[in-house]
Structure 1
Amino acid sequence: MPTVIVPYVRDPVDKSYRKMMAGVARFERERALAPAASLRFRLLPRLPTTDMRGVALRIAGERISVPLALDADHSFVLPRNEEALRDDAAVVANRRADSLTWRAAIHSPGLAPGTRRLGDLRLECRVGIVAGLISNNSPIFGWLSDALSDAGQVCTSADGNYLFFAERPLFAVTVRHGARAEVLPFKMLYAGGRLSAGDLRFCDCQVLLDRSYYAPIFDPAWPDEAVLEFAYMDEPAGGAP
């Protein structure tokens, strides 16, 4: 495996390798939600000042250091490494803590651009909670302190507050299955529109606020095959550019 030098950073971004592998195991157990998809993890900017150029990532422990390859969208596959599990290693980026956020990335093939499948999002939530990816510590997310590891509570409740991020700033989101279609209400966009300037600095959505949305992953009336369709701020009226 090629050597990648990750410059030393004081107080770096890191996640527990064991927890992230527990997320991988959850994906394997519940992949019926997204049977044609594979699992990746993704790094996203958390601060306006975060420079995503040159981000490097590795599995690091007392006796192990394994570089991880990042794609152009800063996503990666997390391999199983028994030594890293024994070493209670961390997944470490060469950026300071709170400069990046993390999400599971599960995409079924064959979807039209600007759409997401609801079953994929349901599984992303369950994997993300078990893997310990969420780092919101605003009072508005205070309930998470007691529910961070309970994917059932977070991902099946209307109060779950698991934030997803679109690729571009959002104008509207429509959920569609067959002849049924509903536009998501404003309270399900932009972190619910409830964050004050003071709260925003504690939310991992702060630089991605205009791309953030909640999905009806908790609502069994929408099947896994339902699709979310995004209308973006930069699209002209009447269709995509």
Structure 2
Amino acid sequence: MKAEPVRALAAIGLGTLLLCGGATAAEDKPVRELEPVHVNAMRNPEVRKYKVILAGLDAFDRHRQLAPAAERLQFRLRAQAKDEAAQPLAIRLVGDAGFNMPLPIDAEGRFVVPRSEAAEDAESELELNRKRHAYRTDPDIRTPGLPANQRRLGDLRLECKVTVAMAKEEIPTFVVLAINTIILRTDWCNFFGDPDDFRWEGVSKKAHFPFRSERPLAGAVLVDGNRSAKLEAKGKTFQVPIGNPNWSDDAVVELSYADAPDAPTGTAGETPRTAP
């Protein structure tokens, strides 16, 4: 198999891995027993190790220039299926020697995880009062002032940096090294839409990084000044060429929703926009 098809397949596999969360590569590990006084009494709650969260916080600090107006890293809980539990969502850091730090969640499922030496020393886990796989935890980085249907490209690039850092902390080292070898780089985010690897004009047709919307999508358009390009959008997922340097960090992805046909639109390809 030639190099470019192999790397295209790697893009698809890598995108799927990151979209589904690195934890799937290391799931079903034993978890600590819960006591009745804890935030929930589920035997197998949704958990994520604190050291994985710290890897995301470190990546956010290293690459803050991508989204300088974003004051802090937030995470967002996304239901994988309809949540019929009567108990309100609750999340906390829980660790050895009785360490317990409840974390507030806003109405949209967003929360912040602080840096804490005590949590690190207790080898804490981020624990949600739902069973495994009921929810996933994604970074959520947004420049203030943008409408809900717009996502700034620099914000999405930073989300990728955080997601990849967390995934690398979760998946086995040999998997990380294998991916590095196949895509010929350690910066996985720059692989997606890299024009040096995928020689289509405008944006790559293969190597896109997947992001989620809260609502089913009718379309997605990448807008940068007087240029625009139609992006692939299916269900609640839209694909973005975050590794393509021809699009600035201030470019904006405009999302139109299946239940709102009058949402903003644009012109496919690197041509002037015809929509307002």
Task: Give the TM-score category using the shorter length.
Answer: 0.7 to 0.9
* C-alpha distance in structure 2 between counterparts of 1:42 and 1:35, whole Å: 20
Residue 111 in 1 paired to residue 146 in 2? Answer: yes
CA deviations 1:35-94 (Å, max 9, x no partner) are 000310111001245659611101011120110100001110111110111121100001
* C-alpha distance in structure 2 between counterparts of 1:161 and 1:239, whole Å: 22
Residue 189 in 1 paired to residue 233 in 2? Answer: yes
Q: 2:132 maps to which residue?
A: 97
Amino acid at match of 1:32: Q
* C-alpha distance in structure 1 between counterparts of 2:179 and 2:86, whole Å: 30
Amino acid at match of 1:224: D
| Pair 1:134–1:75, CA change in 2 (3 A) | farther
| Pair 1:26–1:135, CA change in 2 (3 A) | closer
Q: Which runs of 5+ in 2 are unaligned?
A: 1-36, 193-205, 266-276
* C-alpha distance in structure 1 between counterparts of 2:233 and 2:217, whole Å: 8
* C-alpha distance in structure 2 between counterparts of 1:189 and 1:213, whole Å: 4
> More relative contact order in 1 or in 2 (CA 8 Å, sep 6+)?
1
Partner residue of 1:44 out of 65, 78, 85: 78
Residue 129 in 1 paired to residue 192 in 2? Answer: no
Residue 112 of structure 1 deviates from its aligned partner by: 2.7
Partner residue of 1:28 out of 39, 49, 61: 61
Aligned-partner SS, 2:53? helix
TM-score w.r.t. structure 2 length? 0.67
Q: 1:176 maps to which residue?
A: 223
Contact kept? 1:154, 1:160, Cα under 8 Å: no
| Pair 1:117–1:22, CA change in 2 (3 A) | same
TM-score w.r.t. structure 1 length? 0.77
Aligned-partner SS, 1:66? strand
* C-alpha distance in structure 1 between counterparts of 2:67 and 2:143, whole Å: 7
Identity over aligned residues, as a percent?
A: 33
CA RMSD in angstroms comes to: 3.0
Q: What is the total number of aligned residue pairs between the two structures?
A: 208
Amino acid at match of 1:56: A
Q: 2:274 maps to which residue?
A: none
Residue 144 of structure 1 deviates from its aligned partner by: 7.7
| Pair 1:118–1:146, CA change in 2 (3 A) | same
| Pair 1:152–1:228, CA change in 2 (3 A) | farther
> Which structure would you say has the larger Rg?
2
Residue 236 of structure 1 deviates from its aligned partner by: 3.3
Q: 1:202 maps to which residue?
A: none
Partner residue of 1:220 out of 242, 245, 248: 245
* C-alpha distance in structure 1 between counterparts of 2:163 and 2:93, whole Å: 18
* C-alpha distance in structure 2 between counterparts of 1:232 and 1:169, whole Å: 6
Write out the 4+ residue segments of structure 1 that deviate beyond 2 Å after TM superposition. Answer: 47-53, 131-136, 143-148, 150-154, 158-163, 236-240
Q: 2:96 maps to which residue?
A: 62
* C-alpha distance in structure 2 between counterparts of 1:134 and 1:168, whole Å: 30
Q: Which runs of 5+ in 1 are unaligned?
A: 137-142, 191-209
* C-alpha distance in structure 1 between counterparts of 2:67 and 2:223, whole Å: 17
Residue 236 in 1 paired to residue 261 in 2? Answer: yes
